[in-house]
Amino acid sequence: MKILFIGNTRLGDAILSTPILSYYNKKNNEITVICSSLSKSIYSSFSSVKKIITLKKKKRGLHWLEAYNLLERVTWDLVIDLRNSLLSRIIRKRSIIRYNDGGKEVHKVVSYCNLISLKKKCAPYIPTNKTNRKVISNFIKKNKIQTPILVIAPITNWKRKNWPLENYQKLIKKLFMTRKKHFSSVVLLGSEDESIYCEKLKKSLHNINVYNCAGMLKILEIYELFKFCKLFIGNDSGLTHLAAVSNIENLALFGPSKNQIYRPWGRNSHFIRTPETYSQLVEIKGYDRFNDSSLMEGLKVKDVFNACLKIIS
């Protein structure tokens, strides 16, 4: 069966949509994926994905015209459109599944499973790559990163949902000052652009083994790195969902985003949010999405610390 899968552009959404690809990842299926360069690595890990077309958003939806020109001139047996795009309306197809949450505030995983009528809600899944696992094993040895490892992603692509950097500093210090030694080292993760903030956090942590790995590793290498770690802490971000799908114990920090829709999914996944609800932070007079100040300051270090201890105990 020839399947066209129009996937997500953001890393977190791509990960949450993997139950769909996992379901159609069968020997007799040939899947072509349209996505962004950021989500490409997630979708490319499935064996039935034979071709990936990466798009960069253009004005007036011209990126869909670009995708149309790059597609095979065939009649698709099935089109799965998670973007509700114009493209899926104009190509030839025998069957189509088009995503529309209808404004319902249910978790993305539930929405995606319902989309293809999965009675059992399947967890997000990314196949393991032995090459990437070996790369990470060698990376840990080369850099002499001692286990057990605490891994933290302190920065997101939206400043308003970043827990203040000084709070991460205080939290890490408290975790390393406990009578029982839970961790031997800290690994900081993020993009290349976020490395400067991770370096600032690293320099503020004296007498602790801290490794700034922001921008050094590929997405699927980070996925394998998580499997060597004990606990992940991060804001609502793609790396948080990547940690969750790796089955590492993980704690997501929520504020101006909806945990009922985007909390990490999995048996080892946990979240804590600000005392203020999403509505109290965002749906208020004078709210400015583009303001640089954090909306996470209400979340106290002691509360995150206690949540961490509960998880690792």
Q: What is the pLDDT of residue 60?
A: 84
**Per-residue confidence at 120, pLDDT binned at 50, 70, 90?**
confident
Q: What is the pLDDT of residue 169?
A: 98
pLDDT digits (tens, 9 = 90+) for 19-48: 999 999 999 999 999 999 999 999 999 999
CA–CA distance, 175 with 167 (Å, rounded to integer) = 12
Same domain, residue pair 149 and 284: yes
Same domain, residue pair 184 and 55: no
DSSP classification of residue 264: -
Using the predicted structure, report yes or no on whether residue 298 has a pLDDT greater than 80: yes
Same domain, residue pair 150 and 263: yes
Residue 302 lies in a domain: yes
How many CB atoms sit inside 10 A of residue 20's CB?
Answer: 22
Using the predicted structure, report yes or no on whether residue 205 has a pLDDT greater than 80: yes
Residue 77 lies in a domain: yes
What integer is the mean pLDDT of 206-235? 97
Q: Nearest to residue 82, comparing CAs of 31, 116, 118?
A: 116
Tell me the two tokens of residue 35. 């996505």
Q: What is the pLDDT of residue 141?
A: 97
Which of 115, 141, 171 lies at the terminal end of a domain, its last residue?
115
Using the predicted structure, report yes or no on whether residue 247 has a pLDDT greater than 80: yes
Same domain, residue pair 187 and 300: yes
What integer is the mean pLDDT of 239-255? 98
Same domain, residue pair 274 and 186: yes
Residue 292 lies in a domain: yes
Which of 115, 148, 181 lies at the terminal end of a domain, its last residue?
115
What whole-number percentage of the chain has pLDDT above 90? 93
Same domain, residue pair 37 and 186: no
Residue 124 lies in a domain: no
Check if the beta carbon of residue 304 is closer than 8 Å to that of residue 296: no
Number of domains observed in the structure of the chain: 2
Using the predicted structure, report yes or no on whether residue 194 has a pLDDT greater than 90: yes
Residue 249 lies in a domain: yes
Same domain, residue pair 268 and 209: yes
What integer is the mean pLDDT of 176-190? 94
What integer is the mean pLDDT of 169-181? 94
Task: For CA atoms 110, 156, 198, 307, give the dihedral sign.
Answer: negative
Tell me the pLDDT of the chain averaged across its residues. Answer: 96
CATH of the domain at 24: 3.40.50.2000
Q: Which long-range contacts (CB under 8 A, 24 or more apart) does 135-143 make?
A: 135/221, 135/224, 136/217, 136/221, 136/224, 136/225, 136/228, 137/228, 139/217, 139/221, 139/225, 140/225, 140/228, 143/211
Same domain, residue pair 147 and 78: no
- Cα–Cα–Cα angle for 66, 54, 159, rounded to 5 degrees: 115
Using the predicted structure, report yes or no on whether residue 102 has a pLDDT greater than 80: no
Same domain, residue pair 190 and 248: yes
What whole-number percentage of the chain has pLDDT above 70? 100
Same domain, residue pair 146 and 64: no
- Alpha helices (H) along the chain: 11-16, 18-24, 40-44, 62-70, 87-90, 108-115, 130-142, 165-176, 195-203, 219-226, 238-245, 259-262, 278-282, 301-312
SS3 216: coil
Across 20-34, 109-123, 266-280, least confident range: 109-123
Using the predicted structure, report yes or no on whether residue 312 has a pLDDT greater than 80: yes
What integer is the mean pLDDT of 83-104? 92
pLDDT digits (tens, 9 = 90+) for 126-167: 999 999 999 999 999 999 999 999 999 999 999 999 999 999
Q: What is the pLDDT of residue 136?
A: 98
What integer is the mean pLDDT of 69-81? 96
Which of 91, 115, 139 lies at the terminal end of a domain, its last residue?
115
Same domain, residue pair 148 and 260: yes
Residue 126 lies in a domain: no
pLDDT digits (tens, 9 = 90+) for 46-56: 999 999 999 99
Q: What is the pLDDT of residue 24?
A: 97
| Domain residue limits at 49 | 2-115
Residue 122 lies in a domain: no
Same domain, residue pair 106 and 236: no
